[in-house]
Amino acid sequence: MSAHQHAEGQLPHEPERATLEGRNKVLGFWIFLGAEVVLFGTLFSAFVALRHQVLDGPHASELFELPMVFAATMILLTSSLMSVFAVQAMHRNKVKALIGWLFVTIILGLSFLGLEIYEFNNYVAEGHRMNTSAFSSSFYTLVGFHGAHVAFGVLWISLLIAQMFKKGLTVVTAPKIYLSMIYWHFIDVVWVFIFTVVYLMGKVG
């Protein structure tokens, strides 16, 4: 079953799994996410171990502004929903709709990033820098790492949109869309943990 056969005409039911390459990619990506779970797990553990070590710097409960973080959370969760729509559009072979949903997804992703940058700026102004305390170091590393993942996702999906315009939906491009969407959900799930462990627990003390 080669890539070209299906390129024109109708696409197979699950185009992302139509070829061995596609199946390999999907499986490999899940394994990669397994590694990412460990990575974030370790960052979380470090954060939890160090989160009360604030020295003279601000404490989490003085620092965090929950309404804004809550807004960011909602934005990211919504973007995840958009990516579900994107995959559904893909499965119905509706390229225009697919591109549209992808577009909404990255716009929301960018808004999330904007809020995060704004938030970090505020913190720095309040004397909460990378080198302020062990709490601040582990905070910026964990949350910043997640932010970097979001930024990477935005870049990735933008590239895919460009490819959609050029090549349309094929058994080569479909797995890429599918993977980027799993990735996006993953980022979202990690954020839910960050929201709980970092922000909510930080607010309660």
Partner 1 sequence: MDWLTTVDHKKIGILYLLAGFIFFLVGGLEAILIRIQLMKPMNDFVAADTFNELITMHGTTMIFLAAMPMLFALMNAVIPLQIGARDVAFPFLNALGFWTFFFGGLLLNISWFAGQVPDAGWTSYVPLAGPTYNGTHGVDYYVIGLQIAGIGTLLGGINFMATIINMRAPGMSFMRMPMFTWAIFITSVLIVFAFPVLTVGLVALMFDRLFQANFFEVGGGGNTVLWEHVFWVFGHPEVYILILPAFGVISEVVATFSRKRLFGYSSMVFALVLIAFLGFMVWAHHMFTTGLGPVANALFSIGTMLIAVPTGVKIFNWLFTLWGGSIRFTTANLFAIGFIPTFVLGGVTGVMLASAPADYQYHDSYFVVAHFHYVIVGGLILGIFAGLHYWWPKMFGRMLNEGLGKLTFWTFFIGFHLTFFVQHFLGLLGMPRRVWTYLPNQGFDTLNLISSIGAFLMGIGTIVFVLNVIITWAKPRNAAADAWEDGRSLEWTIPSPPPEYNFKQTPLVRGIDAWWKEKTEGNTAMTPAEPLGPIHMPSPSILPFIMSVGLFIAGFGFMYAHHWLAAGGILVTFVCMFFRSVYDDHGFHIDPEEEVQA
Q: Which residues bind partner 1 (CB under 8 A)?
A: 2-4, 20, 23-24, 27-28, 31-32, 34-36, 38-39, 42-43, 46, 49-50, 53-55, 130-138, 141, 156, 159, 162-163, 167, 172, 176
Cβ closest to partner 1, residue 26 vs residue 84: 26
| Min CB(68)–partner 1 separation in Å | 25
- The answer for residues whose C-beta is within 8 angstroms of residue 98's C-beta and 6 or more apart is 86, 89, 90, 164, 169, 177
| Min CB(78)–partner 1 separation in Å | 26
Cβ closest to partner 1, residue 72 vs residue 86: 86
Give the three-class secondary structure for 94: coil
- Are the C-beta atoms of 143 and 68 separated by less than 8 Å? no
Cβ closest to partner 1, residue 22 vs residue 109: 22
| Min CB(87)–partner 1 separation in Å | 19
| Min CB(74)–partner 1 separation in Å | 29
| Min CB(154)–partner 1 separation in Å | 14
- The answer for residues whose C-beta is within 8 angstroms of residue 79's C-beta and 6 or more apart is 104, 105, 108, 109, 112, 184, 188
| Min CB(75)–partner 1 separation in Å | 26
- Are the C-beta atoms of 90 and 169 separated by less than 8 Å? yes
Cβ closest to partner 1, residue 36 vs residue 68: 36
Cβ closest to partner 1, residue 50 vs residue 110: 50
Burial group, residue 16, by CB count within 10 angstroms (0-12, 13-18, 19+): buried
Give the three-class secondary structure for 65: coil
Distance in angstroms between the alpha carbons of the first and the last residue of the chain: 58
- Are the C-beta atoms of 154 and 109 separated by less than 8 Å? yes
- Are the C-beta atoms of 115 and 146 separated by less than 8 Å? no
Cβ closest to partner 1, residue 38 vs residue 192: 38
